[in-house]
Structure 1
Amino acid sequence: MLVFCISMFIDAAGVSATFLMTAPIGEDLHIALANQAWILGSYSLAFAATLLFAGRLADLFPPNIVYTIGFFGLGVFYLIISFMTNDYAFYILRAISGLFAVLTVPSSINMIIQMYPEPEEQAKKLGLFGMSGALANTIALVLAGAFVTASWRWYFRFIAIVVIPFSVGAWFLMPRTKAVAEDIKGSEKWKRMDLVGVFIMISMLVCFILAFTQAPLEGWNKPIFIAPIVISAVLLPVFIIWEHRMPHGYSLLPHNIWSLPNIFPLIIQASAPFLWFATYQLRMASYFQDALHNSAIISAVKLLPMGITALVVGILTQVFPWLITRPRYVQPIASLFAFAGSMILAYSNGGKGHDYWRWVFPSEIVGTIGGMIVFIGMNTTLIQAFPLEFAGVGGSFANVIFQIGGIIGIAVQTALISTGDGQIDDWKGTQNGYFFSGGWILATGLIFVLWYRQSKMPVHAGGTVAV
């Protein structure tokens, strides 16, 4: 579990730490401002687009092998990245590191489900796994801020120093878990990888992510947004039809995915936590530095209460597992907390001087309590809604929903910033962004309480969800 949580932390940190490192990396590698979005986007796009394929690999091949290859490869490429001096080489290597990082998520989830079949214990362990990712969203900012004072390159070297020994140790210490498709012959496994479905899914997600990452920079009426979003919209029914035509057990997603217990409210609610955290942290990290002229490390420290609160909430979910296992009313209340955090922040006017303690600090505490419970609850419940033979894909599917929510949130927030007067210290546009993120998580919580039914979540004696 320690190794699983470390890999989840580092995977999430690959995104959040970049919030603070984008400017120094861009300056060092002479990257134009318009292209700096790819410092983050090259990793995020590769990671999100291949999540489902990685989940399929973890179901068809021994997950401990998939995990070790991914974790070790991530460490090696982080080390190589730390010596890069060319911007295009940096983008390519960041994307490759994302391809290795993505292998660790579904394989970890697969092994957790196999190692802890009892439902309540399984929920607690999945909650612990999810908590490590949520902690990375804040603590990685502090780590990045500390290393940026010397050089951004030392952040990547530090991660490599941690990852490579742990990945080698994991190979020897982790239990030799079997693939859920252990009895299938090698040639048959290749057929069950559904490479055509994987290609369609990756193409669809790449176009979707490209559209929403470039639209705020280039414009929502420009071909760079319209063409990819139209292509992704066309590929969605193509993917659905292809998956439906595949024989049972050969498709990337289960044929009955839309009849899985509570799948609609779970997907809607799962779109909210990354959206809430990403919009809160990315904008405030930038605002503290650009408008209030705080250093990177001070900006990170100002966001540290979110990390401490996330840790406390994560511990409480272990002590009180009903926070995860009884989500119908817990989730809407958590959504209300996150909404309150957004509203407090929206009226903070940026938290200048003592206003940080009056407005921003309480908004971090209140909002993070809600956001963390939503994230851990959805990371657990959505995975448990999938049958055992799709355990890895279930974990990947949950993370795809998380990532898409975060991407849409950042894109909409970036667009709303321009609704102010355009000055760097203007708060009106930022305020509108927090109205959006708060309203979104409140709406998903309302949908959840109306549609979710605990009685639809029966389990087998072994602890897996009955479908």
Structure 2
Amino acid sequence: MTAPIAADLGVSTANEAWILGTYSMVFAATLLFAGRLADLYAPHRIYTIGFIGLAVFYLIISFMTDQYAFFFLRAVSALLAVWTIPSSINMIIQMYPEPAEQAKKLALFGMASTLANTVALVLAGVFLLASWMWYFRFITIIIGPFSVLAWFIMPRTQAVAEDLPGSEKWKRMDLGGVAILIACLVLFILGFTQASISGWNSALFIAPLVISVVLLPAFVIWEQKMPHDYSLLPHEVWKFPNIFPLILQASAIFMWFACAQLRIATYFQVALHDSAILAAVKLMPMGITALVVGTISQAMPWLITKPRFVQPVASALCFAGSMLFAFSNGGADVDYWKFMFTGQVIGTAGGMIVFIGMNTSIIQALTLQYAGVGGSFANIIFQVGAVVGIAVQSGLLGTGDGTIQDWVGSKNSYFFTGAYIMLTGLIFLVWFRQSKAPQHAGPVVAPP
């Protein structure tokens, strides 16, 4: 919906990136803070407050005619939406303490997000027949009643720090660490967002990137200096078994999905002159495959719990999907069924296994009192991977004639994403040790 929104609000081509960027930047930057809230306060309340707030602000956004008000309200809506993610994960961990069942429920949660991401494309195409504003109103119509019901019927869950006084909870919020991390992530995402607009040699890319790189070790040092149980991340997080192969593999999957969906949807509309709804329908194989694979993971939990050999195979499927996209020449006419359709099915099958496997493994790798933070930590890695991937994909347009109509730049971007996820899969095969994975003999839930 970027182009219609830009046209209606008078957003210049150079600033179109902020239609997506204001939301994604705030969402990624505040994930760990939201995770900390879900650990310190009752997660079902954190969830419902974010859910209700999202409904209210999406309704307000749907009436905006000023671009700056739109950008600001999108940022606020992201701040509220992010409250629903770690709190959901925290509630799942509390409601399903048995390890195998917990892993299956976390897989369902991951499947829902991937499926919704594809369905949203179709819904956006439908509502563009009227106006992009009606998409936001529709989301409010869906969320509004359910968010009110959630306030009353959501299962009551306890915070890890339930018995602590309010002043002590504020001390454990680690607001200093939150501020450093937000600055680091905002500048990192800002730099890569501007790279595709201003160029890789521009100050708008280099300066934020350099500052963010400096802030990252500053954040790590700050966290180590904080007293135990008062830091945003556990002190020993970098020593957890398998944490580095998990992070590397997790960094690849949203990169793969974002680059596949965004470029293909844009190419269909700009180069092939498909309508928005037709472009979305042509991407439906991703959503259907995500649903099928997610369902299969419930009957075959070893796809999640035994990642040593499963993840490299899933990465190879993603690589195969990327190669089919690369050689599709844009997927016009019969090439859609030969390359695009097949690539979506094969690639998404692997991508879903990578996503739900990494989401579950990272959450269960962190200590139990950091359940909310664990979910946030995984999602930050996913989001950063997507931002970097989209920036690189935009930059690779220059390897062709610089326009999206020329498939050469897109082809090279699929070589990049395919190679990256294949590399992370091979590193995972060599580095990950199943014997070092957490073995939970009893309920996997943080004690109140």
TM-score by length of 2: 0.98
The equivalent residue for 2:303 is: 323
Deviation at 1:261, TM superposition (A): 2.1
Match of 1:259 among 228, 239, 252: 239
Unaligned runs of 5+ in 1: 1-20
Match of 2:436 among 453, 456, 462: 456
2:243 aligned with 1:243? no
Match of 1:416 among 377, 388, 396: 396
Q: How does 1:358-437 map to 2 (within 5 A)?
A: 358-437=338-417
1:446 and 1:239 map into 2 onto residues whose CA distance is 30
Question: C-alpha offsets along residues 58-107 of structure 1, whole Å, 9 cap, x if unaligned?
Answer: 00000011001000000000000000000000000000000000000000
Q: How does 1:218-367 map to 2 (within 5 A)?
A: 218-367=198-347
The residue type paired with residue 212 of structure 1 is F
TM-score by length of 1: 0.94
The equivalent residue for 2:158 is: 178
Deviation at 1:30, TM superposition (A): 1.1
2:73 aligned with 1:88? no
Deviation at 1:177, TM superposition (A): 0.3
Question: C-alpha offsets along residues 166-192 of structure 1, whole Å, 9 cap, x if unaligned?
Answer: 111111111110001112111100000
8 Å contact from structure 1 (residues 193, 250) kept in 2: yes
Secondary structure of 2:107's aligned partner: helix
The residue type paired with residue 58 of structure 2 is Y
Secondary structure of 2:232's aligned partner: coil
The equivalent residue for 2:188 is: 208
Secondary structure of 2:399's aligned partner: coil
Deviation at 1:465, TM superposition (A): 8.8
8 Å contact from structure 1 (residues 386, 465) kept in 2: no
Match of 2:118 among 113, 134, 138: 138
Deviation at 1:142, TM superposition (A): 0.4
The equivalent residue for 1:148 is: 128
2:34 aligned with 1:54? yes
Question: C-alpha offsets along residues 247-279 of structure 1, whole Å, 9 cap, x if unaligned?
Answer: 000000000001112101000000011000000
Question: C-alpha offsets along residues 345-373 of structure 1, whole Å, 9 cap, x if unaligned?
Answer: 10111111111111111011110100111
Unaligned runs of 5+ in 2: none
8 Å contact from structure 2 (residues 29, 186) kept in 1: yes
8 Å contact from structure 2 (residues 191, 206) kept in 1: yes
Deviation at 1:423, TM superposition (A): 3.9
Structure 1 residues 288 and 204: CA distance shift in structure 2, 3 A: same
1:389 and 1:106 map into 2 onto residues whose CA distance is 13
1:427 and 1:43 map into 2 onto residues whose CA distance is 29
Structure 1 residues 191 and 55: CA distance shift in structure 2, 3 A: same
Aligned length: 446
1:200 and 1:412 map into 2 onto residues whose CA distance is 26
1:298 and 1:230 map into 2 onto residues whose CA distance is 42
8 Å contact from structure 2 (residues 118, 287) kept in 1: yes
Deviation at 1:463, TM superposition (A): 3.3
2:160 and 2:353 map into 1 onto residues whose CA distance is 30
8 Å contact from structure 1 (residues 458, 465) kept in 2: no
2:292 and 2:351 map into 1 onto residues whose CA distance is 13
1:315 and 1:83 map into 2 onto residues whose CA distance is 38
Structure 1 residues 309 and 28: CA distance shift in structure 2, 3 A: same
Deviation at 1:445, TM superposition (A): 0.3
1:422 and 1:250 map into 2 onto residues whose CA distance is 49
2:176 aligned with 1:196? yes
Q: RMSD over aligned Cα, in angstroms?
A: 1.0
8 Å contact from structure 2 (residues 97, 445) kept in 1: no
Question: C-alpha offsets along residues 266-325 of structure 1, whole Å, 9 cap, x if unaligned?
Answer: 000000110000000000010001100101001001101111011000100011111111
The equivalent residue for 2:104 is: 124
8 Å contact from structure 1 (residues 339, 367) kept in 2: yes
8 Å contact from structure 1 (residues 334, 370) kept in 2: yes
The residue type paired with residue 291 of structure 1 is A
2:445 and 2:167 map into 1 onto residues whose CA distance is 29
2:430 and 2:234 map into 1 onto residues whose CA distance is 25
8 Å contact from structure 2 (residues 93, 445) kept in 1: no
Deviation at 1:31, TM superposition (A): 0.8
